[in-house]
Structure 1
């Protein structure tokens, strides 16, 4: 048995559309993969501890583990890829989250799918900045971005992960439209293929935008 850790974005939750969609796909097509999507607060030290504890447990058990992160989750997936040497799929990732955090300081914040109220301060900005890591293990990554991302500048991710495998699609948005087209391919990148089954044949991407893929 292998494990996938899905890392949701800022003030998101395990109930996000992409997370639930991927969880359902795994249940139907990859029952050999255990699904893990912890609820993460916006507090960096709490998030780092939660993710490290989870990954370290699997590594101690010699269990294959891969991570997938969306938006801010992509930043944390990068942290794990570099500090724990696990493979990571990054979906429209945040490259330098400490730059957007100041606008959220000293005010009540509520997650999209919950009622808990959070408050961030300058210490939290420094905590997440301290978790930045250089990309020293480019073979661990697959970056997927869409140029229509209205929240983050996709070109910054393309530049940061320039030596990594990349898929860049024209159009789309921050949620990465049509991500279900990549379920099988990304899971195989992270954890390898399933036993041969007739219903797991690769499906070519269907998207209106131009797709550019390169391997660093």
Structure 2
């Protein structure tokens, strides 16, 4: 099972989710992915993801993009899971509160929400700056990410498998090229 965790204003309608779901369906594995809209409230998002992890018959692999990569890191560490992290958010390095505080709109649904100091405190409380099991993590990053500095992720995930690609952007433009590798990492392909 893959549990896909989307980014800050994103959702299950994102291009990466669509491409991954289509790829799984082509391989007869459509039932092997869970991706739902996560709350913009960090503690609520984590609770929903943990409830899904608890429902899995076997340990799932997490795939997280941006803020979802932060959540995937936290939960992989907590539950001993594997996680593929796509241009992940690194709180102690990438956190510019000005980018988060205030009113925002979800990209695909148009739903509006306000991100407050209390939400920032939740992210700080969730952060686990010292990774105990970097061997369970795989960093996928592009150097021209216009939102997050990929070098922060390279430093944070030292000891983890790393695929760092020149160019690209925050969406991870070469995502389709890595789908089978992600499925192998998750144990869904040999």
The separation in 2 between residues aligned to 1:34 and 1:69, in whole angstroms, is 16
The separation in 2 between residues aligned to 1:86 and 1:174, in whole angstroms, is 24
The separation in 2 between residues aligned to 1:64 and 1:33, in whole angstroms, is 15
Question: What's the TM-score once normalised by structure 2's chain length?
Answer: 0.93
- CA 1:30–1:87: 2 relative to 1, 3 Å: farther
Q: Please say which structure displays the higher CA radius of gyration.
A: 1
The separation in 1 between residues aligned to 2:187 and 2:96, in whole angstroms, is 32
SS of residue paired to 1:38: coil
CA drift of 1:187 comes to 1.3
Contact 2:21 2:30 in 1 (8 A): no
Aligned counterpart in structure 2 of residue 144 of structure 1, from 114, 121, 140 = 140
The separation in 1 between residues aligned to 2:62 and 2:179, in whole angstroms, is 13
Q: Which residue number corresponds to residue 116 of structure 2?
A: 121
SS of residue paired to 1:130: helix
Q: Which residue number corresponds to residue 169 of structure 1?
A: 165
SS of residue paired to 1:191: coil
> Root-mean-square deviation (CA), in Å?
1.6
What is the correspondence of 1:151-190 to structure 2 with a 5 Å cutoff?
151-190=147-186
Q: Which residue number corresponds to residue 3 of structure 2?
A: 5
Q: Which residue number corresponds to residue 73 of structure 1?
A: 68
The separation in 2 between residues aligned to 1:149 and 1:110, in whole angstroms, is 21
- CA 1:32–1:188: 2 relative to 1, 3 Å: farther
Contact 1:64 1:191 in 2 (8 A): no
Aligned counterpart in structure 1 of residue 45 of structure 2, from 23, 47, 50 = 47
Contact 2:5 2:68 in 1 (8 A): yes
Contact 1:4 1:33 in 2 (8 A): no
Q: Which residue number corresponds to residue 27 of structure 1?
A: 25
> Which protein has the bigger helix share?
2
Gaps of 5+ in 1: 195-216
Gaps of 5+ in 2: none
SS of residue paired to 2:32: strand
Q: Which residue number corresponds to residue 204 of structure 1?
A: none
CA drift of 1:75 comes to 0.2
Aligned counterpart in structure 1 of residue 91 of structure 2, from 64, 87, 96 = 96
Q: How many residues align?
A: 188
